[in-house]
Amino acid sequence: MQPDGDNGYSSGYSLCMRLAAIDVGSNSVHMIVADASRDGHLEVVDRVKEMVRLGRRSFMTGRLTDESMDLAIGALKNFGRLARVRRVDRLRAVATSAVREAKNRVGFIRRIRRETGLKIEVISGVEEARLIFQAAQHAFGLDGGPHLLVDVGGGSVELVLVQDRHPLWMHSAKLGVARLTERFLTEDPPTSAQLRRLEGHLDHKIGELLRKVRKAGAVHAIGTSGTINTLVAMARASRGEELGRLHGASASAEEITRLAGDLVTANAALRAELPGMDAKRVDLMPAAGALVDFVLKRSGASSLIACSWALREGLILSLLKAARGNSAADARRRSVKALASRFLGSNEHGQQVAKLALRLFDATAPVLGLPKTSRELLEYAALLHDVGHAIDHDRHNRHSYYLIKNAELFGFEPDEIEVIAQAARGHRKQAPKVDSPDLSALTGPRRRLVRGFAAILRVADALDRTHFGVVKNIEVSYSPGRLIIGVDSNKEKADLELWTCERRTDLLSRLLERQVTLAR
């Protein structure tokens, strides 16, 4: 393991590298290990966490306790061994709020270096916010907006307002849940007076900032911490949903308000019994509920979306950028290519279908009411439409939906992944029905995308029925009441493609309100 330098792998970044990041936080110490491919795609291969509570009492006394330092160093020794076993090429380790503010931090950092060999950077709150933003942008894309990013740690809260992938401002406040619990919520359950003092403190520290967020018009808050994941898991559990993967899952502001009420009125024993509760966070969740409820109410955000990528992943991205010497390629395309490669290998058929689908899109999008900006999503649906073949042939479109929806596709909004998955499912057999539960859950414009994409994919897929790429190009023209698809097979026989396509034009014909015919 080389914590800080290059090695034989890194020259020109021509080979896959294994990267690791360690976050010495106020509540826990985390490590993540990820492989970075030639084109910059990241695949997480290991995650470990130890609760050490460096922030316990330190925010009041200004000093890290001997017990918490011993626990942290024990965890870091194990992390160092794991990095060697995993053959990590580059590693970056940072410490945040609890260490940043401790009077005895210098001795602690030196002890870590002496006993574990790890070099720890103590980063500022603004740098922490920047790394969290980079991780969330990689994971969700953050187009449009504005979006409010919220990271709730033990010692601090990071807030970032994002518009069209760019941060408008970043702010770090000393409002972490361990700090708030120690200072304000000393009773279990907390008293009404304690809760009023806490709310007054929050208003004093971030109230004006959140009013600016409300004025900017942020609709959603995106949360990137374990604390927020717990709140979203509790909201899902209260709805009777299986917990499963939390990335992209959401809770409404009303659900958070209800949960906050439950958390601040129950004692520790009762909180531990609440559905979805993380047993290791029971003592901190009253502060977490009150804080997140305050942020949503004051900002006007209607929902909270969980993002599994946070500070550790931001550190990985910083290592990747440093290793490559330039910014990573677009996360969306990398993620799609990686998923297609995993299940389809070279995916010549997917690429052929994508080429034909995009030709159809360019000719029909204005009539179908599909915005130009959606072209990219259609391409990804085409590239991934057959991934379900890895599970079963006869129902592969349904399996494609499941694999796409549950894959780690970074850079997308959750409803964009849903559009891609539903379009892939609709490329064969039953067309997407307007009244289906999955389609009904989307907004009107998104429903239009699903049906339009499915109609196009059904034709494009049919035009490569043999998977031999015999259709070299298509030309689309209109005549009264008709759309004519001219098929160029460069003298190769395309009889099976044409025969199949004639049976797949029904949905496209309905949406265009004109007959679709083929011409050689």
Q: Domain coordinates of the chain in residue numbers?
A: 11-123, 126-311, 332-519
CA-CA distances (angstroms) from residue 274 to 55, 189, 234, 277, 461? 25, 14, 8, 6, 48
Peptide bond preceding 189 in cis form (omega within 30 of 0):
yes
Residue 238: half-sphere exposure toward Cβ, Cα within 13 Å? 18
Orientation of helix 375-384 relative to helix 444-462, angle to 10° = 50
Higher pLDDT, 219 or 191: 191
Q: How much is the pLDDT for 6? A: 32
pLDDT-based confidence at residue 3 (cuts at 50, 70, 90)? very low
Region for 12 from its dihedrals, namely left if φ exceeds 0, alpha if ψ lies in -120 to 50, beta otherwise: left
Tokens representing 15 are 């080979």
Rounded CA separation 97/23 (Å) = 11
Q: How much is the pLDDT for 327? A: 40
Which of 117, 133, 110 has the alpha carbon at shortest distance from 80? 117
For the chain, how big is the Rg over CA atoms in Å? Answer: 26
Percent of the chain with pLDDT over 90: 73
Residue reference for tokens 């990041």: 21
Rounded CA separation 157/223 (Å) = 11
* Dihedral sign computed on CA atoms, order 441, 442, 448, 453: negative
Question: What's the chain's average pLDDT?
Answer: 90
Say which CATH architecture domain 332-519 belongs to: Orthogonal Bundle (1.10)
Rounded CA separation 463/324 (Å) = 40
Least-confidence region, from 201-205, 392-396, 424-428: 392-396
Region for 145 from its dihedrals, namely left if φ exceeds 0, alpha if ψ lies in -120 to 50, beta otherwise: left
Higher pLDDT, 198 or 392: 198
CATH topology match: 11-123 vs 126-311: yes
Size of the chain in residues: 520
Report whether CATH 1.20.1270.360 matches the domain 126-311. Answer: no
Tokens representing 372 are 């130009």
Q: How much is the pLDDT for 145? A: 84
Amino acid at 135: A
Contact between 177 and 288 under an 8 Å Cβ cutoff? The reply is yes
Q: Is the pTM of this model over 0.95?
A: no
Percent of the chain with pLDDT over 70: 95
Task: Quick: pLDDT tens for 215-263.
Answer: 999 888 999 988 999 999 999 999 998 877 889 999 999 999 999 999 9
Determine phi and psi for 152, rounding to 5 degrees: -105, 105
Q: Determine how many CB atoms are found less than 10 A away from the CB of residue 67.
A: 12
Class of domain 11-123: alpha beta
pLDDT-based confidence at residue 38 (cuts at 50, 70, 90)? low
Q: How much is the pLDDT for 5? A: 35
Residue 10 has pLDDT above 80, yes or no: no
Q: How much is the pLDDT for 324? A: 66
Contact between 221 and 150 under an 8 Å Cβ cutoff? The reply is yes
- pLDDT average, residue stretch 8-34: 77
pLDDT-based confidence at residue 15 (cuts at 50, 70, 90)? very low
Contact between 305 and 223 under an 8 Å Cβ cutoff? The reply is yes
Q: How much is the pLDDT for 245? A: 81
Rounded CA separation 288/262 (Å) = 12
Task: Quick: pLDDT tens for 78-102.
Answer: 999 999 999 999 999 999 999 999 9
Which of 66, 266, 53 has the alpha carbon at shortest distance from 178? 53
Task: Quick: pLDDT tens for 302-330.
Answer: 999 999 999 999 999 989 887 765 443 36
Task: Quick: pLDDT tens for 464-514.
Answer: 999 999 999 999 999 999 999 999 987 678 889 999 999 999 999 999 999
Q: How much is the pLDDT for 39? A: 67
Q: How much is the pLDDT for 41? A: 79
Residue 192: half-sphere exposure toward Cβ, Cα within 13 Å? 0
Determine phi and psi for 516, rounding to 5 degrees: -105, 125
Task: Quick: pLDDT tens for 133-152.
Answer: 999 998 888 888 899 999 99
Residue 13 has pLDDT above 60, yes or no: no
CA 187 from chain centre, in angstroms, equals 36
H or E stretch including 136?
Answer: helix 125-140
Pairing of strands 147-152, 220-223: parallel
Please give the biggest Cα pair distance in the chain.
83
Q: How much is the pLDDT for 490? A: 74
Q: How much is the pLDDT for 7? A: 29
